[in-house]
Chain A
Amino acid sequence: MNNAVAQGHSMQSADANPVEPAPPPDYSEDGVDLSLIRWTLSLTPAERLEFLNDRIADIFTIRALNAPE
């Protein structure tokens, strides 16, 4: 009885805390940042374009700030 209870309890615990699948890796074997890819894939094409445009604008701003006089 005790065993059965113990087993039942044990099984209940296992059900309550199922083993979670390992999270997908952040990097591929050849070093590509998969988390960044997943993020860009979560955007719409329009948002990807807007993000790229904003980054380019930022780069040009920084370059202008650091241009030799």
Chain B
Amino acid sequence: MPQNRLLALLRRLEESKSEFIVVGGLAAVLRGAPVHTYDLDIVYARNPQNIDRLLEVLASLGAIFRIQPERRLKPTASHLSGSGHLNLLTKDGPLDLLATIGQNLQFEDLLARSSQMDIGGGTHVTVLSLDALIEIKEQLAGDKDMAVLPILRQTLSESKKQRNREES
């Protein structure tokens, strides 16, 4: 049985008490969409305390930038304070730290459209809702986003039907 590295990565982030929301492909998977993804995308709160917590856990995960991995560039507070995407590689796989997604939506904007999910082993993480994920992908309208949209829309529709059946 292979070690669950995705779970290990999420658990380490959660244990660090960092404020983050799981978005992207893994949010889609956790919400029930049959899609594949190799990386973990998170939107994080950019307050100084959270940046310190993230830097600590990133150091323990051996995080380096994926671009030019041979240079082993480590993320700094300055990187995390910025507004860009940090594409990192950790000992538990790729991890993308996103300051914003969609039309400049930050952690605080996304929190109301997210909820806690139990991912096993006593770990609960905040995950973006499927309808918010769909809305953001519709706004982005990139090829990759458009390709996955039919699956996300159908997952949302089936999920609502399932909920209605359970409630009736």
- Residue among B4, B30, B154 making CB contact with A34, cutoff 8 Å: B154
Nearest B residue to A39, CB-CB: B34
Instruction: Tell me the smallest distance from the CB of B123 to a CB of chain A, in Å.
Output: 9
Q: Which of B26, B34, B120, B127 contacts A33 (CB 8 A)?
A: B34
A16 vs chain B, min Cβ distance (A): 26
Q: Are A41 and B158 in contact (CB under 8 A)?
A: yes
The smallest C-beta distance from A45 to any residue of chain B, in angstroms, reads 5
> How many A-B contacts are there with CB distance less than 8 Å?
77
Residues of B within 8 A of A (CB): 2, 4-7, 10, 26, 29-30, 32-34, 36-38, 117-121, 127, 150-151, 154-155, 158-159, 162
Contact of B119 among A38, A39, A46, A54 (CB under 8 A): A46
Q: Describe A's contact surface by its main secondary structure.
A: helix
Given A32-B150, A49-B29, A52-B37, the answer on whether A38 and B6 have CB atoms closer than 8 Å is no
Q: For the complex, what is the distance from the CA of A66 to the CA of B158, rounded to whole Å?
A: 38
Residue of B30, B36, B37, B151 near A37 (CB, 8 A) is B151
